[in-house]
Structure 1
Amino acid sequence: MFRYVRYSFIIILFCLASCQQVLEPKPVNLLVDELVLNEPNDVEPVRIGMYSALRGTAAPTVIAGDFTADHIQHNGTFTDYRELGTKQITAANAAVGLLWQSLFRTIYVANFMLEKLPDVAGVREARRKEILAEARFIRGYANFIGTNTFGDFPLVTTTVQATNRTIGRSPKAQVLASVLADFQAALTDLPNVEAGSTNALTNAAYINKVSCRAMLARYYLYQRNWAQAEQLATQVISSGVYTLQTSFADVIVKDFNNESIIEVGYSVTDDPQTSTSLFPNGLSLNNLLVGRREVIPSNQLVVSLVSAEAGTRRQTISFSTQNLRGNDNGWTVEKYGLALEDNNNIALIRLAEMHLIRAEARAQQGRLTGANGAVADLNVLRTRAKAPAIALTAQAEVLLAVERERIYELAFEGHRWYDLVRTGRAQVVMSSFSPNWNSRFELWPIPQSEIQQNPTIRTQQNPGY
């Protein structure tokens, strides 16, 4: 798995002086021999390398979360996307390999920082703790995505290549325990950010205590620990650091808006919409969704998003008669623009998700109505979207309403497939969507390239692949 990072890493300097400016220097070797991270001046480039690696996981996770599920239909010619669109996924799918590769690149850089930074003299202790906390969070995030995508997942805690080249898969429960430990350790030492802070760019681009709590809220939701999920989501909402945009359109057209809790930023030179090296078949995300239209919003999703129930969230997609030809339904995803546009970033977490997490957690605990009930949180988002308020009183109906709201609010942000799997709804929903759906698709396969090169994993492929 570490053949991609065996000798070097590209460190991309991510300058937060402007949300439009991200500098990309020449590749810098990250050899595991203390030649790079051995003095204070080395720390910041490696730190930015961690964020760059995290950024590399964002688009592949959107592909996993939305393309595996019922949000897209295939409309082009490439096999990788046909497999995702027609639900005939194979271990050779390049998108599968891309996510695997990006996750382990992220874990590698985080481990590098965790191993080397404690021994670098001359770094202020408070700063050292903050950066190590960032590394713990970023490693935990990558493992969270990895184990929820692939199931049992290699738990890599070292940069020793001889160990990593033959490491096997660890049980999902063990990986998740490691994720929780990383998040909790990070929470202790991450910097705080106060309510009323107006620097939306800094608040979203770098991890802080509030954004760590947001990720913990998602973690506990997936673990069905409803009380903890509700508590942490409430802490994030009540912090006042992040606020819902008045107009849902701003979520689509503005990078680093006020409700982005964690967002990864790009420039013209490294934007996944323009960089052909980041995607299977040389395609970029924007070209995939807009230019070549390899995949398009599914007819089922279109019906949901253009309904009155979605309100202004119909702006997630747009229609053009010029695209109507063959099987093309004419609809296009609007959430990710070109590099020169102000919506080329990817939000990993935003405040709307916290309301949805709290609504689901409260509904699961039987608290449905009133100021502290699930319906109140749903109506906060519906009011923002100018959709009619709902007044439901049955738990099953409220939980289905939460599922629908997550479609309206979070479409093409990488959640749908993960939501269906974690709620046990994948088989029911997806079998009615596609005759090719099989329960094995509740996990992605281990990439065929990894099966071939790692002798330990060779016999550990997910069932059915």
Structure 2
Amino acid sequence: MVKVIRLIRYSVLVVLVSLAACQPVLEPKPVALLVDDLVLNEPNDVQTVRVGLYSALRGSASPNIIAGDFTVDNIQFNGTFNDYRELGTKQITAANGAVDALWQNLYSTIYVANFILERLPLVSGVPETTRKSVTAEARFLRGWANFIGVYTYGDIPQVTTIDRSINSNIPRTDKTTILTSVLADYTAALTDLPTVASGSTDITTNATYANKITCQAAMARYYLYLKNWAKAEELATTVINSGVYTLEANFIDIVLKDFTHESILEVGYNLTDDPGTGNFALNNLLVGRREVIPSNQLVLALNSTESGTRNTTIGFDSNNLKGNDNGWSVRKYGTASEDNNNIVLMRLAEMYLIRAEARAQQGKLAGTTGAVADINVLRTRAKAPAAAVGAQADVLLVIERERQYELAFEGHRWYDLVRTGRAQAVMSSFSPNWNAKYELWPIPQTEIQQNPALAGKQNPGY
């Protein structure tokens, strides 16, 4: 059964900026929210349900990073949990907990979005501007969840209602149809999402809640994945030129700080709900328990001259050297007492990389509007040698490496290798256990067992 009907708890988070202390604060305080107990009967309920929508998104963030970075060559297994043994040794099964966690949280996001879309039109007294903007946020985040879902699992159930009788027996929908619905959701959201002025200084709100530029950034990624190079270039340029988000001067700030000036979409945590413990908590997995560590190959890549200061994504401690432990750890996800425990889902640097790839695919390699110029914006920030213009195939490989340097442990690597057709070549040399079936995650076994429409419909090879 698609578990949008399961009781799932969310910590409701609203992140604001204290004008007095210039520190992130929480208001209201985190509360338990059960999706089956969502209430939307009067105007005062709208904000609570809206925050519940973003809280659902937040639940998907950590397993999304795990999918993008743990499935491929960025990590090696170093612990005791079987879920991460499977990911590290490339022997993933349909019973894997991370596989299930991402599915559940994506569908939780879709459920809350559908709840808003069904119930909000029935609530009287809601200002029209609020009604439009919250509806747009629901459309945007439903599209976001379906986009991640279809590129992780392939054909997935298309859930468009909160009706239990329908959702308990719903088949897989083909990828093309899901992607068409994603674009429809993004397009509808773009109309009514709020506009943010160039030079806006409210960086926390700009990263926490969706606005028009957030949607355009997601659409740039959408068109890149669909190989519509012209649209990907156009939308990435719109985001870059908007002036709402700006590159940090020093890459280390990306590693050590939350809510940077280039963060387009980010999910936040606080002392009471910090992801420092738990089976899918990044700091716990990467630092506390060291279930997985940066792979030797990634360590060499990030410490190359070409990577520059992006080697600050990882750090070395000789005290960790024992057995197969190479002593390296990911620094990007700290604890609640540090200032880097959030998870960034999109940032401006990705837009430069999207535009570079889109331009390269169109043969636009040299000059101020060429792919290499975009690469060198990030190389300059990283204090790395400038890239030179070469043949198209060579520039595309440079971009692949740039994405690994720049976006390491932000959930992109596996999706990148699969969408570019490079997974088999890269991964077969990394692990003897790699199999082409791992270009999709399996449908969680619990879903196969509980949803009659999914019986016998598992992804090939699982």
Judge same fold: TM > 0.5, yes or no: yes
Amino acid at match of 1:377: D
Q: Secondary structure at the match of 1:389?
A: coil
Please give the residue correspondences for 1:384-395 in structure 2 after superposition, counting only pairs within 5 Å: 384-395=381-392
**1:210 maps to 2:213:** yes
What is the aligned-residue RMSD (CA, Å)? 1.3
Q: Which of 256, 261, 273 is residue 259 of structure 2 equivalent to?
A: 256
Q: Which of 57, 65, 90 is residue 87 of structure 1 equivalent to?
A: 90
**1:27 maps to 2:27:** no
- In structure 2, the partner of 1:235 is 238
Q: Secondary structure at the match of 1:332?
A: strand
| Residue 180 of structure 1: how far off its partner (Å) | 0.4
- In structure 2, the partner of 1:441 is 438
| Residue 363 of structure 1: how far off its partner (Å) | 0.1
Q: Secondary structure at the match of 1:64?
A: helix
**1:14 maps to 2:11:** no
- In structure 2, the partner of 1:131 is 134
Shift of the 31–249 alpha-carbon distance from structure 1 to 2, 3 Å rule, reads same
Shift of the 26–374 alpha-carbon distance from structure 1 to 2, 3 Å rule, reads closer
Q: Which of 308, 311, 321 is residue 311 of structure 1 equivalent to?
A: 308
Deviation per residue, 1:102-145 (Å, 9 max, x gap): 10111000000010011110011111100000000000000000
**In 1, are the aligned partners of 2:103 and 2:149 still within 8 Å (CA)?**
yes
- In structure 1, the partner of 2:273 is 270
Deviation per residue, 1:249-306 (Å, 9 max, x gap): 01111100100001111111122223x2xx35xxx32111011111000000000000
Shift of the 447–372 alpha-carbon distance from structure 1 to 2, 3 Å rule, reads same
How many angstroms apart in 2 are the aligned matches of 1:367 and 1:10? 46
**In 1, are the aligned partners of 2:151 and 2:415 still within 8 Å (CA)?**
yes
Q: Secondary structure at the match of 2:135?
A: helix
Q: Which runs of 5+ in 1 are unaligned?
A: none
How many angstroms apart in 2 are the aligned matches of 1:15 and 1:26? 14
How many angstroms apart in 1 are the aligned matches of 2:25 and 2:93? 38
Q: Which of 187, 191, 194 is residue 188 of structure 1 equivalent to?
A: 191
How many angstroms apart in 1 are the aligned matches of 2:426 and 2:34? 47
Amino acid at match of 1:349: M
TM-score (norm 1): 0.96
Deviation per residue, 1:137-156 (Å, 9 max, x gap): 00000000000000001110
**In 2, are the aligned partners of 1:11 and 1:48 still within 8 Å (CA)?**
no
| Residue 25 of structure 1: how far off its partner (Å) | 4.0
Shift of the 30–393 alpha-carbon distance from structure 1 to 2, 3 Å rule, reads closer
**1:244 maps to 2:241:** no
Q: Secondary structure at the match of 1:347?
A: strand
Deviation per residue, 1:89-108 (Å, 9 max, x gap): 00011110000111011100
- In structure 2, the partner of 1:332 is 329
Amino acid at match of 1:344: N
| Residue 330 of structure 1: how far off its partner (Å) | 0.5
Q: Which runs of 5+ in 2 are unaligned?
A: none
Between the aligned residues of both structures, percent identity stands at 66
Please give the residue correspondences for 1:44-443 in structure 2 after superposition, counting only pairs within 5 Å: 44-274=47-277, 276=278, 279=279, 284-443=281-440
Shift of the 15–250 alpha-carbon distance from structure 1 to 2, 3 Å rule, reads closer
Amino acid at match of 2:392: Q
How many angstroms apart in 2 are the aligned matches of 1:10 and 1:323? 35
Q: Secondary structure at the match of 1:296?
A: strand
**In 2, are the aligned partners of 1:305 and 1:314 still within 8 Å (CA)?**
yes
**In 1, are the aligned partners of 2:193 and 2:210 still within 8 Å (CA)?**
yes
Answer with 10-19 or 289-298: which moved more. Answer: 10-19
Q: Secondary structure at the match of 2:272?
A: coil
Deviation per residue, 1:54-78 (Å, 9 max, x gap): 1111110000000001000001111
Shift of the 127–338 alpha-carbon distance from structure 1 to 2, 3 Å rule, reads same
| Residue 4 of structure 1: how far off its partner (Å) | 5.8
How many angstroms apart in 2 are the aligned matches of 1:158 and 1:3? 13
How many angstroms apart in 1 are the aligned matches of 2:35 and 2:336? 28
How many angstroms apart in 1 are the aligned matches of 2:440 and 2:391? 31
Answer with 176-185 or 451-460: which moved more. Answer: 451-460
How many angstroms apart in 2 are the aligned matches of 1:163 and 1:4? 11
How many angstroms apart in 1 are the aligned matches of 2:9 and 2:310? 39
Q: Secondary structure at the match of 1:390?
A: coil
Amino acid at match of 1:140: G
Q: Secondary structure at the match of 1:250?
A: helix
Q: Which of 447, 453, 457 is residue 454 of structure 2 equivalent to?
A: 457
Shift of the 296–313 alpha-carbon distance from structure 1 to 2, 3 Å rule, reads same
Amino acid at match of 1:6: R
Amino acid at match of 1:286: N
| Residue 317 of structure 1: how far off its partner (Å) | 0.4
**In 1, are the aligned partners of 2:15 and 2:268 still within 8 Å (CA)?**
no
Q: Secondary structure at the match of 1:21?
A: strand
**In 1, are the aligned partners of 2:111 and 2:161 still within 8 Å (CA)?**
yes
Q: Secondary structure at the match of 1:456?
A: helix
**In 2, are the aligned partners of 1:204 and 1:262 still within 8 Å (CA)?**
yes
> Would you identify which runs of 4 or more consecutive aligned residues in structure 1 move more than 6 Å?
none
